[in-house]
Amino acid sequence: MESLEEWGLAGRNFGPWVTWFLVGGDLYTAYTVIAVPAALYGAGAMGFFALPYVIMIYPYMMLVLPRMWTVCHRHGYVTFADFVRGRYGNRLLTLAVALTGILALMPYIALQLVGMRVVISALGVTGEWPLVAAFVILAAYTYSSGLRAPAVIAIVKDLMLYIMVIAAIVLLPIKLGGYAHVFELANHALSMHSPAATIYLRQGQVLGYSTLAIGSAVALMLYPHTATAVLSAKSAQVVRRNAALLPAYSFVLGLIALLGYVALAAGIVTKDTSMAVPLLFLKMFPEWFAGFCLAAIAIGALVPAAIMSIAASNLFTRNLYGEFVGTPATPREESQIAKLISLIVKFGALVFVLRLPAPYAIEMQLLGGIWICQIFPAVVLGVFTRWFHSWALFIGWIAGMGLGTGMAFALELKGSVYPIHFAGHVYGMYAAIPALLANLAIATILTPLFRAAKLNNGLDTTDAEAYVG
């Protein structure tokens, strides 16, 4: 691989089907298969926020990503931070977008390894060597082939997951007396939890549920691994087709989520909610098929972890190293640096998982979702307008990051729905949303002030024709 575009974006040559599997493999990870049912297993209806947010994401993708692909393709941009650099000509704003992406990705990669560790534990295998072995495989198959390697494995992973989900969602409820009985048993089991939960949203949960869905949709498209998968497509039309086809994954996610209720109905008892699905498979399926299902989840960790490590190395190489070294790197040097950084990123995630308790990765992921939403004004709005002043966007980003982080720490990183007190009432909202609203408000207020003061606004070097159509 002689260039970063070849190694990190596979030469932008993927057609509709490979892109479909790649983006799907990117968004629907091993931890999705474990964490979404775990949320329903532990918290009931509130965990279903994942379903409306993936319904929201595809019209959002249809509107934004084809235009983003066209601009990035025309100018050779590899990351969204590249786009921000070209659109605003502000090095600090570019650095902010790149750092936000890397910081949000690291716990996400760690969570894939956490998901794999859960599977290994469910199989009764002890010790650290299986996870280390998986890391070595992951490092080896991405180092030389770049994005092409996870693209091939994504096809195998998705086929295995479809078989697993269809079998689980059809056969297990039949064994348990049908879905009506499953819901009845699950509702009873949830009522015994502390705090008690139900399969219905309770009064006061609707706003938190809605903002979780909206904020998660905003975040999902901004993650660097999503950008990497989308920018590897060979045309904007491929991106549009995928936005139309990907809702098939939403249907599967809904089925995956129901496994949380099936686990409750099957009498699975565990303090670690992440173990609910693996324990369900081991209890209800023959050993050979339970092993197949757990293998599907493990492969589902390798694919997104590989893409995420490539995305992080793209950001570092182009927007940190490339932005601040004195001599620009050649295409070959860029690809070599990216390969090295991808190894460091994966090694860092492995150390994080092996040396720190699993809840740390989950807590950092909560922060990552809040953080990545704060680049929405610069990236998504930047695709449609150059009205915002670059320094106003930077100050808005600082405010959003500070407010969102403060709310998360006020909740002791145990949740992300923050109680906002207003006019004698308490409104529970996903912390990313009020942080993003503050970010946008500050950027909107400061833009005309900075223009009036004739503060340097940077130079837009992108081609206006790339935004047409």
Which ranges constitute the DSSP H helices of 76-223? 80-88, 91-122, 129-143, 148-175, 179-191, 206-222
Map residue 419 onto helix, strand or coil: strand
Predicted pLDDT of residue 293: 84
Q: Classify residue 189: in a domain, yes or no.
A: yes
**The model's pTM:** 0.89
Write the DSSP string, 230-298: HHTBS-HHHHHHHHHHTHHHHHHHHHHHHHHHHHHHTT---SSGGGHHHHHHHHHS-HHHHHHHHHHHH
Predicted pLDDT of residue 302: 77
Q: For residue 34, what pLDDT band results from cuts at 50, 70 and 90?
A: confident
Q: For residue 43, what pLDDT band results from cuts at 50, 70 and 90?
A: confident
Rounded distance between C-alpha atoms, residue 319 and residue 317, angstroms: 6
Token output for 5:
């575009």
Q: Is pLDDT above 60 for 469?
A: no
The b/e string for 260-293 (b: 16+ C-beta within 10 A; e otherwise) is bbbbbbbebeeeebbbbbbbbbbebbeeebbebb
Q: What percent of the chain is modeled with pLDDT above 90?
A: 27
pLDDT digits (tens, 9 = 90+) for 409-428: 888 877 788 888 877 778 88
Predicted pLDDT of residue 452: 94
Query: CATH code at 251?
Result: 1.20.1730.10
pLDDT digits (tens, 9 = 90+) for 364-375: 778 888 999 999
Token output for 143:
């180092």
Dihedral class, residue 89 (left if φ above 0, else alpha if ψ from -120 to 50, else beta): left
Q: What is the tally of structural domains in the chain?
A: 1
Do 185 and 26 meet the contact criterion of CB atoms below 8 Å apart?
no
For the ranges 1-15, 63-77, 408-422, the maximum mean pLDDT occurs at 63-77
Q: Give the number of other CB atoms < 10 A from CB of residue 397.
A: 24
Instruction: Look at the block and give the residue holding tokens 């930077």.
Output: 394
Identity of the residue numbered 204: G
Q: Classify residue 414: in a domain, yes or no.
A: no
Q: Is pLDDT above 60 for 148?
A: yes
Q: Classify residue 446: in a domain, yes or no.
A: no
Regarding predicted confidence, which is higher, 262 or 421?
262
Q: Give the number of other CB atoms < 10 A from CB of residue 41.
A: 29
Q: Is pLDDT above 80 for 348?
A: no
Q: For residue 360, what pLDDT band results from cuts at 50, 70 and 90?
A: low
Predicted pLDDT of residue 438: 97
Q: Classify residue 450: in a domain, yes or no.
A: no
Q: Is pLDDT above 70 for 1?
A: no
Rounded distance between C-alpha atoms, residue 243 and residue 247, angstroms: 8
Residue 163: Cβ-neighbour burial (10 angstroms; 0-12, 13-18, 19+): middle
Comparing 136-145, 305-314, 452-461, which segment has the lowest mean pLDDT?
136-145
Q: Classify residue 405: in a domain, yes or no.
A: no
Give 253's contacts (C-beta < 8 A, 6+ positions apart).
Answer: 28, 32, 36, 50, 51, 54
Rounded distance between C-alpha atoms, residue 434 and residue 346, angstroms: 33
Q: Classify residue 440: in a domain, yes or no.
A: no
Do 23 and 155 meet the contact criterion of CB atoms below 8 Å apart?
no
Q: Classify residue 52: in a domain, yes or no.
A: yes
Q: What percent of the chain is modeled with pLDDT above 70?
A: 93
Map residue 147 onto helix, strand or coil: coil
Packing angle between helix 148-175 and helix 247-265, nearest 10 degrees?
Answer: 40
Q: Which domain holds residue 258?
A: 4-358
Q: Classify residue 457: in a domain, yes or no.
A: no
Q: Is pLDDT above 90 for 118?
A: no
pLDDT digits (tens, 9 = 90+) for 44-69: 888 888 788 878 888 888 889 999 99
| Phi, psi (degrees; rounded to nearest 5) at 115 | -60, -40
Do 119 and 279 meet the contact criterion of CB atoms below 8 Å apart?
no
Taking all residues of the chain, what is their mean pLDDT, rounded to a whole number?
85
